[in-house]
Chains A and B, each alone.
Chain A
Amino acid sequence: MEEGLLVRKIDWGTVIDHIPAWRADRVLRLIDAEQLAKDPEVSVIVLKNVPSRKYGRKDVIKLYHHHMSRTDAALVKLIYPTVTVNYIRDWKVEKYQPELPDVIEGRVRCPEVTCISNSKRDPVVRRFRVLKEDGYIQCYYCDAIVEFSSIPDLAVA
């Protein structure tokens, strides 16, 4: 199968490319793709385990009629450094190299059950510092650390 056959072009949207094979579902969870269902114009096209010149096999996600936020792009990049993000406007492709964020807010929950950010009574904004050289994120409140690769398990849907 040729790569070109699988990757039909879109005129408007986002292509999340070079996702490690079979990791597309985790990416979808991470970017809370289900909330896109609110918009009837949006389609999500998921390609799994397709040939890749660079990596052998890869997953690709196309968000048709949706531009993923740069914050989400950065979050995905943090966990899967091979990922590239292309924004498409009127067939024109803008390659975007997300930079690692310093802080992640909202999307990830703290693994510590007794952390104040998991309190049901208090509307605490979940917040992690990104320890780039160490490969961890650290809860701003309770100091718990999470390896980058474990972040999808803690994605808040």
Chain B
Amino acid sequence: MGEVLVSLKGADVVSSKDFTRPMVERVFEVADEALRSPERFSGSLSGKRVALLFVEPSTRTYSSFHVAARKMGADVLPLVDPEMTSLTKGESLYDTLKMIEGYGVDCIVMRHPARGAARYAADVVRVPVINAGSGSQEHPTQSLLDAYTIRRKRGSIDGLRIGFLGDLRFSRTVPSLVYTLSLFKDVTMHFIAPPALQVRPEVELHLRKRGVSYDKVEKQSEIPRVVGELDVLYVTRLQKERFPDPSEYERLKGSYRVDMELLSNARPTLGVMHPLPRVDELDPEVDGTPHAWYFEQASYGLPVRMALYHLILGG
């Protein structure tokens, strides 16, 4: 790759569609460093103030952004209003953002239930906006830690065959990860979901335009064969309320459950990933096997978010 100058200083992180490969690799390098020598990052953001505006419940994403900022010595301004009651009651997002900007923050990390909210926020304020989840649209920083996990476990992302299983339509992590992985060479994707929960049309359009090979696996009977060919299986929750017909959910849920029986078809090196929290789509008996990457995956939330803060605010 040579010396590619990649600057993320002052950049917004709104959508994984905006990422480039050198940029993603730069995040990986800094995350490696944050894992190796975290002490080098302590105090690196002293004097900076980071606002965490979470207008939707979140534990893991919120705490990882919070802990990362505190570790690096930043002031954290927590604005957590999952029920949209006190803080944002009756107030437009525009006003909330302007008020936060008025506090002199250097960066706004935002989770919001509306699709497109992060793009809007980035246009409204001058400071960098980091999208920590925009409705069912995207979760770009999760996709960085997901891709980072694959890179750590396999050494490289190029040439891998990756399956996405479960609710691909309403999952915000899936589009972001698809966009990020589409930056790598010869990645093949399989979308394993019933038709009603298949990957969204704009995600497919993006893959066609990038020339990424993919297919949709909609027959339950084909799932074991496809799983047998994968390097990575990314599992998301199948939620009953997403089905127009509840009996359809009852009929399908077994096929979209990852357990030892399904994994008996898998390659020994297959890695199973999950953005967590899981419900019953991922059997705990998988935890003790080498297939289980998900706890390690979750642990990379911190170094990847430290890397992002460092690249956007540091230096």
Contacts and interface: CB of A to CB of B under 8 A. Distances in A.
A binds B: yes
Given A142-B137, A143-B202, A145-B202, A116 B94 contact: no
Nearest to A141: B116
Nearest to A134: B205
A115 B90 CA distance: 18
Q: Is the interface of A mostly helix, strand, loop or mixed?
A: loop
Contacts of A114: 113-115, 135-136
A144 interface: yes
Contact of A141 (B90, B120, B175, B201): B120
Contact of B114 (A119, A136, A144): A119
B116 A115 contact: yes
Contacts of B15: 143
A115 B94 contact: no
Contacts of A138: 202
B93 interface: yes
A109 to B, nearest CB: 13
A124 B92 CA distance: 10
Contacts, number: 68
A112 B115 contact: yes
Contacts of A122: 92-94, 120
A139 B116 contact: yes
B19 to A, nearest CB: 14
A62 B197 CA distance: 46
A116 B93 contact: yes
A38 interface: no
Interface string B122-141: 00000000000011111000
A64 interface: no
A119 B90 CA distance: 12
Contact of B117 (A116, A123, A131): A116
A119 B92 CA distance: 9
Contacts of A136: 205
B209 interface: yes
Interface in A111-131: 112, 114-117, 119, 121-124, 131
A22 interface: no
B112 to A, nearest CB: 8
Q: Is the interface of B mostly helix, strand, loop or mixed?
A: mixed
A131 B208 CA distance: 13
Contacts of B115: 112, 114-116, 141-144
A143 B17 contact: yes
A140 interface: yes
B119 interface: yes
Nearest to A120: B92
A129 to B, nearest CB: 11
Contacts of A141: 115-117, 119-120
B16 to A, nearest CB: 11
B209 A134 contact: yes
Given A116-B93, A138-B202, A143-B137, A124 B120 contact: yes
A141 B112 CA distance: 13
B141 to A, nearest CB: 17
Given A116-B116, A140-B116, 6 more contacts: A110-B116, A114-B114, A121-B91, A123-B92, A142-B134, A143-B115
21 contacts: A112-B115, A114-B114, A114-B136, A116-B93, A116-B112, A116-B114, A117-B120, A119-B114, A121-B90, A122-B92, A122-B93, A134-B205, A139-B116, A142-B116, A142-B119, A142-B134, A142-B135, A142-B137, A143-B15, A143-B202, A145-B201
Interface of B: 15, 17, 90-94, 112-117, 119-120, 134-138, 175, 201-202, 205, 209
Top 4 closest pairs, chain A to chain B, by CB: A141-B116, A142-B115, A142-B116, A116-B116
